Amino acid sequence: MDFMDEYAEVMNKYAEVEVYNGFKRGYTGLSITYSFTSRDMLWLEDGVYCFDQEERGKVRRGGVFNSPSIDLTQKVMLNYTVSILRHTLGFERLGLPIEEDELPSGWSMERNRYLEYVSLKGPDDVKLEFNTGEARYCVPLAWLYDVSPSELLHAYMLPDGGPLLRRWLGRPYVR
């Protein structure tokens, strides 16, 4: 959970949003408040980590993304919120490919009978397990399975994404 403290410190200092790390205080959630009416949440529910936007004071059960892996869930949260940080730092928007047809060779998405995304399968029997109804929350994970959330945060804090993102993308990926 060290990354949660690091993320809160960076976002509070540079991104002009309020991040409250309840995990540090023994609670089961982290909140990112953008304004009086807009907030994202990362929380632990029934043994899985969930991420979603709070709407009218509530978040949907299981969130829009959930995984038993805190690492994957933190990366989803970071990828979802990093544009705010980069904008505040005066950098161009930088992101990972988010369409299913942009998956690298050897990767595929698995869906369940309800058409939700349930995992990504990759080379060397890599399998990233999660549950979401939105491809944009899962496709970037294919590129990030052996990168820590902290490494990713620091790469995003460089104007062009630095060597880490160039390693994965071959070039800066500007949207």
Q: What is the DSSP string of 35-97?
A: ETTEEEEEEEETTEEEEEEEBTTB--TT-SEEES-HHHHHHHHHHHHHHHHHHHTTPPPB---
The CB-side HSE value for 33 (13 A sphere, CA atoms) comes to 9
CA–CA distance from 169 to each of 6, 33, 60 (Å)? 25, 31, 33
CB 96 within 8 A of CB 103: no
Tell me the CA distances in angstroms from 99 to 69, 102, 136, one per residue in order. 22, 5, 7
What string of pLDDT tens digits covers the 175 residues of the chain? 789 999 999 999 999 899 999 988 888 899 999 887 789 999 999 999 999 998 877 888 999 999 999 999 999 999 989 989 999 999 988 767 777 777 878 888 888 887 689 999 988 888 999 999 888 888 888 878 889 999 999 999 998 888 887 776 655 455 4
* Cα 50 from Cα 138, distance rounded (Å): 13
For the chain, domain boundaries? 2-169
- How far CA 30 is from CA of 52, 53, 133, 140, in Å, comes to 11, 12, 22, 22
Nearest to 160 by CA among 173, 170, 149: 173
pTM for the model: 0.88
